[in-house]
Amino acid sequence: MIQDAGFNLDTKVVSVVENINWTFPSAWDLAISPPLLQDNTLDVLKWETNDGRLEEFSVALAWDELRPHAPLVAWYHVVWYPQCIPKHSFLLWLVIKRKLKTQDMLRHWDIHPSSSSSLLCPFCNFQPDSHSYLFFDCAYSLRVWNEANKVVGVSQDVGWDDIMRNMM
């Protein structure tokens, strides 16, 4: 359609605007008004914000306007901090949100694990079915937590919710 109208990839806006009117074929019926072109003036790309202001375009501005805004969660500083390793922070974020694709999560999607041994925990030969199992119920992870508790001087058994509450 564009090529049939005599335009190509090199066509400039100035060649389709004449006397503040579009020179497109009338069948196109554009619902936007043509730009006001001024000779000897540099083009400036503007972004209209959600509240109607025109600001100079930047990717940061566009992202801030397009992304969903929500209040900060109390644990953000535990996950995202200046020296964080992004991959580790992302995985911790998934863990905190309980979004790792464990067996209990997959069951909600009607995905039933096979009896394949590749789904078995390499430390105790049990099928890891939840976040609780991965971090607290597996014999290996329980030993890791017990050793970590000794180092920091915690003598009681704690769960994920207790750890998160203490970190905030």
Q: pLDDT for 7-65, tens place per residue?
A: 888 888 888 888 888 887 777 777 788 888 888 888 888 999 999 999 999 999 999 99
**pLDDT of 119 above 70:** no
Claim to verify: residue 33 and residue 96 sit in the same structural domain? no
Residue 119 lies in a domain: yes
Residue 38 lies in a domain: yes
Claim to verify: residue 31 and residue 60 sit in the same structural domain? yes
Mean of pLDDT over the chain: 80
pTM: 0.51
- Cα 164 to the chain's mean position, in Å? 22
Claim to verify: residue 100 and residue 158 sit in the same structural domain? yes
**Between residues 70 and 161, the one the model is more confident about:** 70
Residue 3 lies in a domain: no
Helix (H, G, I), strand (E, B) or coil at 108: helix
CB 24 within 8 A of CB 44: no
Claim to verify: residue 81 and residue 61 sit in the same structural domain? no
Claim to verify: residue 80 and residue 153 sit in the same structural domain? yes
Give residue for tokens 């995202």.
80
Element (H, E) at 59: helix 59-66
Residue 148 lies in a domain: yes
Smallest Cα–Cα separation from 138: which of 124, 148, 150?
Answer: 124
Give residue for tokens 């566009």.
62
What is the span of the domain harbouring residue 30?
13-66
Smallest Cα–Cα separation from 134: which of 145, 149, 148, 147?
Answer: 145
Smallest Cα–Cα separation from 95: which of 148, 39, 164, 8?
Answer: 164
pLDDT bin (cut points 50, 70, 90) of residue 104 is: low
